[in-house]
């Protein structure tokens, strides 16, 4: 019996050591080490040092706790941008930063030490807080590196560095000397749980249950319209502020009515009579008279809780949207109240301590927490017949975004930045900034337009001190030589010097021994991070920097404070471009929270799946909106990744014997090259516009199309033809170009995978790392010349493929290469094509219909294609015989 010949050894079978299995959790630390050991980041900078700069300035994450998926999304997108810009030959030093001051770090450190902040010296507190913040930076730094970021994290910036604090104080000094910093008594957001003032950016709104009460105040001195013992009716959801009531405001132009109910008279806005009488269930009431608000100005009433005699005044903020049309005024507990109180010289009563308890001004309510006093005050009002109606409402109420507890407006002496003085300059600076959404521009613009003066003082110890002195008469002193003297001390010793030295030791000699005092408040952490444009040293490159990219919450935070400080200091925005991302939510669009148990740890994803999968998820997200993540979504991303990896592997495995050479293309190869060139143009534009989801989508579509058609039809050429045949080298040239494109284009997104594949790629002028490659040149080609020409073929192909599929289902043939296809076409172009190869069929003839049959054939034992018997010799087809003979 004749031995069966082994033709497989004569085929050009795929060959590569690039594994099908990713093993990213093993390979990622390996390549991280290779990049570090070979100083790849420094080499990238060296390669591009004479090129145009592109500086993405890193907004400082807070140095407290492990990373969450929001951190991961932010740093991954930044790294994609940096890697793209660097491979596109921009000079891209990236200096990561950390925000290191503030209450959360102070609290966390105190909790770990189990110490009350009142029982530890300021210096000990500051030293321990600094130590804690630095330990958190080291934890976060290691976690960020697991994201496979290009930066080596050797050079970073920290807001607690002496050099940073000095620059921050220089910004503060300039703002002081330009008249932008002032001290004043004003109601500000006050957090009893933090015992400190808060900036707007530190306030979030949550649902809160509050008492809603209508209270009557008896008139003590009336006029010809309103008489003694008539009642002014007010509404409030903060009964505890009644202790500080100093006036009742009306609107001069509103109509008001005097109502009689059960032998008592009440004054309310005329337009609210119907709704209020229904709320109070007053059925037999009588309207005695109507009058304008201005008619009762300056009448007086008894402020029932504090027993003071107070006036009725005009209020610009009185509306008819809620309440009674009369508004109770407690000047130190609301912004509008304060303005009205100052204008009318009202009594300023401060009855709330820093911790939220009531002081001696609250008489019998002293030492009670302000919210707890609501119940006592309500009970007293009811017992003394002043309470008209009580119910409880749920509404959005401001909370401290760190402690998650309610806050109040409370008048305290604070330091402010006067926004109004530079508001026009800030708004004008935005005209020079490129926004990637109209929404982003409008949001930042509106926030600046509506922004009041910025409260920058905090009553804590861990932060940059407000370096202000008071003279012997308690007047504020702002002199350049004093600022410079202190800043010089900070440059040598750090800001602890402010707390370690006496006042005289902190002053120049001329100002000593005068009984001066110093400010003990620290600066708002947003002032710290908002000076990073100056505080960071990015190879001496000066702002404005090319791009700021952070979460959408930073329009009220870091974008905002950076913009204000930069305009105040250098009269321009600190960024040329502004880009933002949404929040990471679960599969159902819900915010991640411990209570819901829907949080996903990015480090767990990396440990289980690899950072490239997490990076691909980030790139494949519409990040400008909120982004969903779940195990299911990560699994789907894994499928997409495998498709890319398997395609890369196939391309590599068919280039093992190929040396790059410019090749003139024909036929289908020319079409695929044209498609590739057009895709290159699109991908580059998507990168330039930060539209990474479109890059992933278009490359994926290209790969799917490639796999289902071009790579399928060219396998026969790649495996069967003579190794150095013209047709095979033509296909290899195309797949070389495709592989080069895929690795370069996906490198910023999945760097480990592309680096690994690059090591097996016999690339012309190969570098030691793909990181040192250059992005491809975009060649404008005549738009879709080949695509237009081939259109009719693909219409025909789809029809024939359907007929082949039906024939296989009907058991007429087992596979497409057994098919005898008749084609109905008059096209010279189609007739000129190698249709057997392009349609992967056994026999082609032209007739008056499209039809698929089986034909009497033999299978070539080498290429496994089917041929008519006359075309087979010694069990091989003509082509295979020729290849073997050669």
| Band of pLDDT at residue 392, cut at 50, 70 and 90 | confident
Q: What is the pTM of this model?
A: 0.85
The 3-class secondary structure across 320-355, one letter per residue, is: CCCCCCCEEECHHHCHHHHHHHHHCCCCCCCCECCC
User: pLDDT exceeding 90 applies to what percent of the chain?
Assistant: 76
What's the domain count of the chain? 2
The domain in which residue 835 lies consists of 793-885
Torsion region of 727: left, alpha or beta (phi above 0 gives left; psi -120 to 50 gives alpha) = alpha
The reported pLDDT for the residue numbered 312 is: 95
* Over residues 87-105, mean pLDDT: 94
More confidently predicted of 585 and 164: 164
In this structure, of 195-204, 235-244, 406-415, 639-648, the range with the lowest mean pLDDT score is 195-204
Contact 250, 326 (CB under 8 A): yes
Residue with token string 């795929």: 14
* Over residues 716-730, mean pLDDT: 95
Task: Tell which of 379, 409, 439 closes a domain.
Answer: 409
| Band of pLDDT at residue 403, cut at 50, 70 and 90 | confident
- Highest average pLDDT, of 98-107, 258-267, 542-551, comes from 542-551
More confidently predicted of 691 and 592: 691
In this structure, of 224-238, 345-359, 395-409, 859-873, the range with the lowest mean pLDDT score is 395-409
Give a yes or no: residue 393 inside a domain: yes
State pLDDT tens for residues 23-58. 999 999 999 999 999 999 999 999 999 999 999 999
State pLDDT tens for residues 803-841. 999 999 999 899 999 999 999 999 999 999 999 999 999
More confidently predicted of 638 and 781: 638
Give CA 728 to chain center in angstroms: 48
pLDDT beyond 90 at 780 = no
pLDDT beyond 60 at 614 = yes
* Over residues 131-155, mean pLDDT: 94
Strands (E), 372-518: 387-400, 408-417, 434-435, 454-455, 457-458, 469-470, 476-477, 517-518
Q: What does the alpha-carbon distance between residue 859 and residue 595 come to, in Å, rounded to a whole number?
A: 66
Task: Tell which of 409, 443, 466 closes a domain.
Answer: 409
The reported pLDDT for the residue numbered 600 is: 87
Contact 396, 205 (CB under 8 A): yes
The reported pLDDT for the residue numbered 201 is: 62
Give CA 318 to chain center in angstroms: 38
pLDDT beyond 80 at 200 = no
Contact 597, 568 (CB under 8 A): no
Give a yes or no: residue 283 inside a domain: yes
Q: pLDDT averaged over the chain? A: 92
* Over residues 329-346, mean pLDDT: 89
* Over residues 174-184, mean pLDDT: 95
Give a yes or no: residue 111 inside a domain: no
CATH number of domain containing 300: 3.90.740.10
What are 491's two structure tokens? 């440059």
Give a yes or no: residue 94 inside a domain: no
Give a yes or no: residue 710 inside a domain: no
Give a yes or no: residue 769 inside a domain: no
CATH number of domain containing 799: 3.30.2320.20
* Over residues 520-530, mean pLDDT: 95
pLDDT beyond 80 at 524 = yes
Give a yes or no: residue 618 inside a domain: no
The reported pLDDT for the residue numbered 208 is: 82
| Band of pLDDT at residue 3, cut at 50, 70 and 90 | low
| Band of pLDDT at residue 783, cut at 50, 70 and 90 | low
- Say what the alpha-carbon torsion angle 112, 99, 555, 697 is, to the nearest 10 degrees: -90
Give a yes or no: residue 839 inside a domain: yes
Residue 575 host element (H or E)? strand 575-581
The reported pLDDT for the residue numbered 796 is: 93
| Band of pLDDT at residue 210, cut at 50, 70 and 90 | confident
Q: What does the alpha-carbon distance between residue 761 and residue 736 come to, in Å, rounded to a whole number?
A: 9
pLDDT beyond 50 at 1 = no
The reported pLDDT for the residue numbered 595 is: 63
User: pLDDT exceeding 70 applies to what percent of the chain?
Assistant: 98
pLDDT beyond 60 at 320 = yes
* Over residues 424-451, mean pLDDT: 93
Local structure of 606: helix, strand or coil: helix
pLDDT beyond 60 at 2 = no
DSSP-assigned beta bridge partners for residue 391? 212
* Over residues 437-463, mean pLDDT: 90
* Over residues 682-696, mean pLDDT: 97
Contact 56, 690 (CB under 8 A): no
Task: Tell which of 409, 429, 455 closes a domain.
Answer: 409
The reported pLDDT for the residue numbered 299 is: 93
pLDDT beyond 70 at 784 = no
State pLDDT tens for residues 846-868. 999 999 999 989 999 999 999 99
């Amino acid at each position: 019996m004749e031995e069966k010949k082994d033709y497989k050894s004569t085929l050009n079978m795929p060959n590569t050591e690039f594994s099908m299995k990713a093993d990213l959790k093993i390979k990622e630390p390996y390549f991280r080490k290779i990049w570090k050991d070979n100083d790849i980041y420094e080499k990238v900078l060296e390669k591009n040092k004479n090129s145009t700069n592109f500086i993405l300035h890193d907004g400082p994450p807070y140095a407290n706790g492990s990373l969450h998926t929001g951190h991961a999304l932010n740093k991954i997108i930044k790294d994609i941008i940096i890697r793209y810009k660097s491979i596109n030959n921009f000079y891209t030093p990236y200096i990561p930063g950390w925000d290191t001051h503030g209450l959360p770090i102070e609290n966390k450190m105190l909790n770990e030490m189990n110490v009350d902040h009142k029982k530890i010296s300021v210096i000990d507190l500051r030293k321990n807080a600094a130590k804690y913040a630095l330990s958190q930076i080291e934890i976060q730094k290691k976690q960020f590196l697991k994201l496979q970021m290009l930066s080596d994290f050797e050079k970073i910036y920290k807001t607690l560095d002496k050099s940073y604090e000095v620059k921050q104080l220089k910004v503060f000094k300039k703002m002081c000397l330009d008249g932008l910093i002032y001290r004043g008594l004003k109601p500000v957001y006050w957090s009893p749980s933090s015992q400190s003032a808060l900036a707007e950016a530190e306030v979030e709104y949550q649902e809160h249950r509050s008492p809603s009460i209508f209270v009557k105040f008896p008139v003590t001195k009336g006029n010809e319209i309103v008489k003694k013992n008539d009642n002014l009716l007010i509404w409030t959801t903060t009964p505890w502020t009644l202790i500080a009531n100093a006036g009742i405001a009306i609107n001069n132009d509103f109509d008001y009515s005097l109502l009689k109910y059960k032998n008592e008279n009440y004054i309310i806005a005329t337009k609210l009579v119907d709704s209020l009488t229904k709320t109070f269930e007053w059925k037999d009431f009588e309207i005695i008279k109507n009058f304008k608000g201005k008619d009762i100005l300056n009448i007086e009433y008894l402020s029932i809780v504090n027993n003071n005699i107070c006036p009725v005044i005009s209020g610009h903020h009185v509306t008819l949207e809620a309440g009674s049309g009369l508004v109770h005024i407690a000047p130190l507990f609301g912004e509008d109240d304060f303005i009205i109180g100052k204008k009318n010289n009202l009594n300023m009563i401060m009855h709330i301590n820093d911790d939220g308890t009531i002081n001696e001004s609250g008489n019998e309510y002293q030492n009670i927490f302000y919210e707890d006093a609501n119940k006592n005050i309500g009970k007293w009002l009811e017992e003394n017949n002043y309470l008209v109606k009580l119910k409880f409402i749920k509404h959005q109420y401001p909370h401290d975004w760190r402690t998650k507890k309610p806050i109040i407006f409370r008048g305290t002496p604070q330091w402010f930045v006067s926004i109004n003085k530079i508001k026009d300059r800030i708004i004008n600076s935005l005209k020079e900034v490129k926004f990637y959404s109209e929404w982003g521009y409008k949001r930042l613009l509106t926030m600046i337009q509506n922004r009041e003066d910025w409260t920058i003082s905090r009553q804590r110890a861990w932060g940059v001190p407000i370096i202000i002195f008071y003279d012997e008469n308690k007047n504020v002193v702002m002199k350049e030589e004093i600022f410079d003297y202190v800043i010089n001390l900070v440059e040598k010793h750090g800001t602890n010097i402010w707390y370690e030295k006496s006042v005289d030791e902190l002053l120049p000699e001329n100002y000593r021994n005068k009984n001066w005092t110093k400010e003990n408040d620290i600066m708002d952490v947003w002032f710290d991070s908002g000076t990073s444009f100056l505080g960071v040293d990015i190879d001496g490159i000066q702002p404005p920097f090319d791009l700021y990219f952070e979460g959408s919450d930073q329009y009220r935070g870091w974008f905002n404070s950076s913009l204000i400080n930069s305009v105040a200091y250098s009269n321009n925005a600190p960024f040329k471009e502004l880009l933002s991302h949404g929040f990471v939510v679960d599969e159902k669009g819900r915010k991640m929270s411990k209570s819901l148990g829907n949080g996903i740890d990015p480090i767990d994803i990396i440990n289980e799946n690899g950072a490239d999968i997490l990076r691909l998820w980030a790139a494949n997200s519409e990040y400008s909106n909120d982004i969903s993540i779940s195990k299911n979504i990560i699994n789907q991303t894994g499928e997409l990744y495998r498709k890319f990896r398997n395609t890369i592997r196939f391309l590599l495995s068919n280039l093992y014997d190929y040396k790059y050479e410019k090749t003139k293309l024909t036929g289908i190869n020319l079409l695929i090259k044209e498609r590739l060139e057009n895709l290159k143009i699109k991908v580059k534009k998507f990168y330039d516009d930060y539209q990474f989801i479109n890059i992933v989508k278009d490359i994926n579509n290209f790969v799917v199309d490639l796999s289902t058609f071009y790579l399928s039809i060219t396998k026969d050429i790649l495996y069967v033809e003579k190794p150095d045949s013209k047709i095979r080298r033509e296909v290899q040239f195309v797949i070389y170009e495709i592989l080069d494109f895929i690795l370069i284009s996906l490198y910023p997104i999945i760097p480990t995978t592309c680096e690994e594949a690059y090591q097996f790629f016999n690339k012309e002028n190969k570098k030691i790392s793909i990181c040192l490659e250059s992005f491809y040149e975009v060649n404008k080609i005549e738009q879709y010349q080949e695509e237009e020409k081939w259109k009719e073929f693909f219409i025909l192909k789809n029809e024939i493929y359907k007929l082949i599929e039906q024939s296989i289902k009907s058991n007429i043939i087992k596979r497409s290469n057994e098919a005898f296809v008749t084609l109905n076409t008059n096209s010279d172009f189609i007739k000129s094509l190698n249709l057997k190869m392009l349609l992967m069929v056994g026999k082609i003839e032209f007739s008056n219909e499209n039809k698929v049959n089986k034909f009497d054939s033999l299978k070539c034992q080498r290429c496994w294609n089917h041929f008519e018997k006359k075309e087979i010799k010694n069990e091989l087809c003509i082509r295979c015989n020729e290849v073997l003979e050669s």
